Amino acid sequence: MENPVLNQAALPVFNAILPAQIESALKQILGQNRDRLSELLANSSYSWDNLMIPLEEMDNRLNKMWSPVSHLHSVMESEELRAVYNACLPLLTEYQTDLMQNEKLYQAVQAIAASADYKNFNPTQKKTIENDLRDFKLAGVNLSPDAKTRFTELLKQLSTLTTQFAENLLDATHAWELHVTDPDSLKGLPEQTLKLAEQTAQQQNKSGWLLTLDYPCYSTVMKYLENRELRERVYEAYVTRASDQGPTASQWDNSQVMDDIVKIRHDLANLLGFPNFVEYSLITKMAKKPEQVLTFLNDLVTKSKSFAEHEMQELREFAKSLDQIENLEAWDLAYYSEKLRVTKYAVSQEELRAYFPLDKVLDGMFIVMNRLMGIKIKERTDVDTWHSQVKFFEVYDRDDHLRGYFYTDFFARPHKRDGAWMDECRTRQRLADNTLQYPVAFLTCNFTRPLDDKPALLTHDDVQTVFHEFGHCLHHLLTQVDYSSLSGMNGVPWDAVEFPSQFFEHWCWNQEALTLISAHEKTGESLPETLYNKLIAAKNFQAGMHMLRQLEFALFDFRLHLEFDPNKRAQVQTILDEVRNQVSVVPTPAFNRFQHSFSHIFAGGYAAGYYSYKWAEVLSSDAFSRFEEQGVFDPIAGNDFMKTILEQGGVYEPLDLFIRFRGREPKIDALLRHSGLI
C-alpha cells in the first residue's frame, strides 16, 4: 500500500497520517524532485513549459505532502510528531537551499528571461521569473562554494531554533496551572470561565478549579478576577513563560534561543552583503528603506502618546477612587480598564458575549461576504478532519463556480499552539493536464470551547479575530492566479499581507452587519440599538494605549534586527527596555519577559516585519473609507475589492492595486480617524 502521507488528492486524509510514515514520505518526494530537476536541466534550451511549469509541479507535490504535517504539528502535537517534524526540518532546508543555490537552474531561468519569447509573456509569467531571479540571489546563488555551505548550515540552524522557540513556549504554557479550592478566591470570574476551570480540574480528578495559561482563561482572569494576589500570580506565570524568570524559570528558557536566532539572521544577511537583517528583508517588502519604517512608526508614536498618557492617568485615578490603589501594577491594568469601560460606557465584553454565539457569527459573516462580493459558503460534513470540533466549508462565487475550501478549528485545547492564524493547505494552481487545483485554507483560533449544551460564545474582540482571519482566507481562496508562486498571498509583500484581513474587521462595527452576526443565546434577539450605541461609544476606549502597545512591539522587532551587533551582549532585553522608555506609558515589572513568547518574530514570519500590521492598516482603513462614502454594503465597491485586491495574488505591486481600487495613493487620515486619534 502507498504511504498515505504521500496522498496527492484534493484534500488530505488527516486520520491516515501517522508520524512513523512522515520522514520516509518526505525523503521519497525530495528524491523524486531532485531526479526531476536533473531531467529538466538536461534540456538543451529552456522555456516556460519545459522548466517553469514542471518546477511549479515539484513545489506543489512537496507542499501537498508537507502542509498537512506542518498543520498537525501546530494543532495536534504529540511527542512522536514533534520528533519526526524536527528530524524533517533539516531535510527540507537542505532541499530548498540546494534548489535556490543551483547555478545551472539560475542560468536556465535567466535564459528564459533573455529569450525572444519573454516579451510575449503575460504579467504573471514575467513576475514569476522576476521574483525567482531575485530569490536566487537572496538564497546565495552567487556565493562561493564555502559560503553556500555556510549559508545552508545557518538556515538549518535557524529552522531548528525557531521551532524550538515555539515548542518551548507550548510546553511552558501547558506546564503551569493554578489549583484553587476556595470559591471566594474566584469572585468576579464569569460563569463560563468557572465552569471551564471546574471541568479542567475534574479531568485531572481534582476538586475545585484549575486556572491555566491558555489565552481564553488568562485574559478573562486578568479582566475579571477580584483577587489581586491571584491576578499577580497568573500574570507573572504568563509573562515569564519560556524564560529565566517566574514559576517555571529556566525549564524551557528561550533566552539563548532568541540570541541565536537574531545572530543567525544577521550572519545570513552579512553573507549576502547586507549590513543587517532589516536591509535584507526589505528587498521583498513595500517599504524599501529602514528610515521609511522608523519614520512611519515614530510618527505614530508622536501622534498617539499624549492620548495614551491621558488614558493612563485616567485609569490611575479611577483605580485609586474605586479601591484606593496607590500604585497601579501591570496585573491591575486589564481589571481596572474593564471596570472603567463599564463605568463610562455601561458595556462589558462579557455582556456582549451572550449576543455572539459562534455559529451565528459565522452565518452572519457569510451573509456579509455574500452581500459584498456575491460569494456563497456551504458547509460539508463528509470530509475527514483532525479533530471532532473541526468543520469544513466550500466557497462559490456569484456564478456558482467553486473557488476553494477551508477548514475551521476554533477552540483552545492541549497540544495546540496558542493564537489565531490562517495557513494554506493547498494552493490554487493550473496543473499540467489543464485541470484546476482549488485552494484550501486552515482557519485556526483558540476560543473558549462550548460547555455542556450551551453554544460557544465570543466576545466582540473574538468576533473581530474571526473576520480578520477569514480575510486572510479569502485572500488565499479567491485568487484567480493560476501559478502557485503568485496565487493567493504568495508573492505578496509581507507588509501588505494584513491589508485584506484588517479591512474586513471594519464590518464588525457596522450596525447592519452586527444585526446579521448577533443573536442572544437565550432570546435570539440581535444586538439591540442601546447596546450597539454603547459599543460604538467604547470603540476607541484606550485607543492610544493600544496603539502604543503595537508600536512598542513593532519598534522592538525592527530595531533588534536593524541594530544587532554580534559583539554586544543582552541586546534583546536592552533594546526592548530602550523602546519601552521611548514608547510605553504602562508599568512593566522587571520580571516581565514578553519577548520570550513573541512568536510572531521568533517563530513566525514577522521578523523585521511586525510593523506590517500598522503599515497595512493605513491601506485597510483608507480602503474602507470608500465604503463609508458609497455605502458599507455597496456591491460595486465590494466587487471592485474582490477583483482588484483579493483576486490578484502577488502579480502586481500592492500600492498599484490600492490606487486602482481607491483612485489615489493611501492617506493615513482614515487610520487615525478610525483609531480616535484625530
Scanning 439-565, the segments in alpha helix (DSSP H) are 460-477, 498-505, 511-517, 529-537, 543-563
Burial class (CB in 10 A: 0-12, 13-18, 19+), 514: buried
Instruction: Give the count of beta carbons closer than 10 Å to the beta carbon of residue 203.
Output: 10
Cα(65)–Cα(2) distance, integer angstroms = 13
Cα(103)–Cα(27) distance, integer angstroms = 23
Among the options 469, 505, 552, 647, which is catalytic? 469
Cα(414)–Cα(210) distance, integer angstroms = 14
C-alpha torsion 134→137→141→145, nearest 10:
180
Q: Which residues pair with 11 in a beta bridge?
A: none
- Closest alpha carbon to 356 in 452, 461, 502, 445: 461
Q: What is the DSSP letter of 457?
A: B
- DSSP per position, 134-146: HHHHHTTTTS-HH
Q: What residues contact 203, with CB distance under 8 A and at least 6 apart?
A: none
Scanning 18-52, the segments in alpha helix (DSSP H) are 19-41
Compute the half-sphere exposure of residue 487: CA atoms within 13 Å on the CB side of its CA: 25
479 close to 488: Cβ distance less than 8 angstroms: yes
CA dihedral sign of residues 480, 483, 484, 487: negative
Catalytic status, residue 167: no
- DSSP per position, 138-174: HTTTTS-HHHHHHHHHHHHHHHHHHHHHHHHHHHHHH
What is each CA distance from 264 to 44, 203, 289, in whole angstroms?
39, 43, 22
CA dihedral sign of residues 151, 152, 157, 160: positive
- Closest alpha carbon to 159 in 69, 242, 230, 90: 90
Q: What residues contact 151, with CB distance under 8 A and at least 6 apart?
A: 97, 101, 139, 140, 143, 268, 271, 272
459 close to 349: Cβ distance less than 8 angstroms: yes
Q: Calculate helix-pair angle for 654-662, 612-630, nearest 10 degrees.
A: 20
Buried b / exposed e over 46-63, threshold 16 CB at 10 Å, is: bebeebbebbbbbbbbbb
- DSSP per position, 325-342: -SS--GGGHHHHHHHHHH
Cα(33)–Cα(91) distance, integer angstroms = 13
SS3 (DSSP) at 402: strand
Q: What is the DSSP letter of 529?
A: H
Q: Which residues pair with 378 in a beta bridge?
A: 394
Q: Which residues are designated catalytic?
A: 469
